[in-house]
Amino acid sequence: MHASTISPRLFVAAPLAAGAELAVSEAQAHHLGTVLRMRAGEAVRLFSGTDGEWLATVAELRRGACRLAVERQLRVQEPEPDLWLVFAPLKRDATDLVVEKATELGVSALQPVFTERTVAGRVAGERLLAIATGAAEQCERLSVPRLLPPLPLARLLVEWNPDRLLVAALERRGLPPPPALAGRRAALLVGPEGGFTPAELDLLLKHPLVIGAGLGARVLRAETAAIAGLALLGIGGGG
């Protein structure tokens, strides 16, 4: 069987190898059977984040359940950029957009951070992970970014790993654009609507691992800043 360019892609949390057979989740079975109206013998592409992409066929599909037979590897797992997005949660739709686009741009981890002006009081982890998974399935990447537990900004800075540079998007300060990463592990920090408070700015600018960066002459919405910042860091081109 040949893999079609329109064959659906699914992320599965299971090892992939020729001859393996696996059951997908009830939601995935519903999507394949009810939404896509697939039948036994039709092709599906699978990826697990570690084993590359594989061609599988529908072995059995019934209400709420589906088994897939793994046939052959289509793409090997390749190294990906190690860039995190650290972001203040926004209103629901804006946060969803940030997670979706950051996934499409290839971030390896998503780190929510609570600041003094953060409007969201909680992070809907399961929903955001589902959005990231769906975006990864659609954009042909071979992994799903990790969703890390949310942290207050002060704690994040205290516990920040010295092996990872933190590039903070700071507006109205006449700062240069984000630097070239040259393969270095890094993260982009984007604050809330309304920006960081003066006390938070002081913490950021005094931190030895934080580099302040500008994103142009205009004042951007937080979700736009996240997307633009990742693009300026070059992750869309492979890091």
Instruction: Encode pLDDT of 187-200 as tens digits.
Output: 999 999 989 999 99
pLDDT for 5 equals 54
Q: Is the pLDDT of residue 236 over 60?
A: no
| Cβ proximity of 58 and 68 under 8 Å | yes
Tell me the C-alpha distance between 227 and 169, whole Å: 11
Q: What is the rounded distance in angstroms from the CA atom of residue 141 to the CA atom of residue 131?
A: 14
Q: What's the whole-number mean pLDDT along residues 6-25?
A: 93
Q: Give me the phi and psi of 85, to 5 degrees please.
A: -115, 120
Q: Which pLDDT band holds residue 182 (cuts at 50, 70, 90)? A: low
- In the chain the domains, ranked by start, together with CATH numbers, are 9-75 (2.40.240.20), 83-237 (3.40.1280.10)
Using DSSP's 3-state secondary structure scheme, residue 185 falls into coil
Q: Assign 171 a pLDDT band (cuts: 50, 70, 90).
A: confident
Mean pLDDT of 102-117: 96
Q: How far is CA 153 from the centre of its chain?
A: 20
Which region holds residue 106: left if phi is over 0, alpha if psi is between -120 and 50, else beta?
left
DSSP 6-39: TS-EEE-SS---TT-EEEPPHHHHHIIIIIS---
SS3 at position 175: coil
In this predicted structure, what is the pLDDT of residue 173? 76
Q: Is 229 helix (H, G, I), strand (E, B) or coil?
A: helix
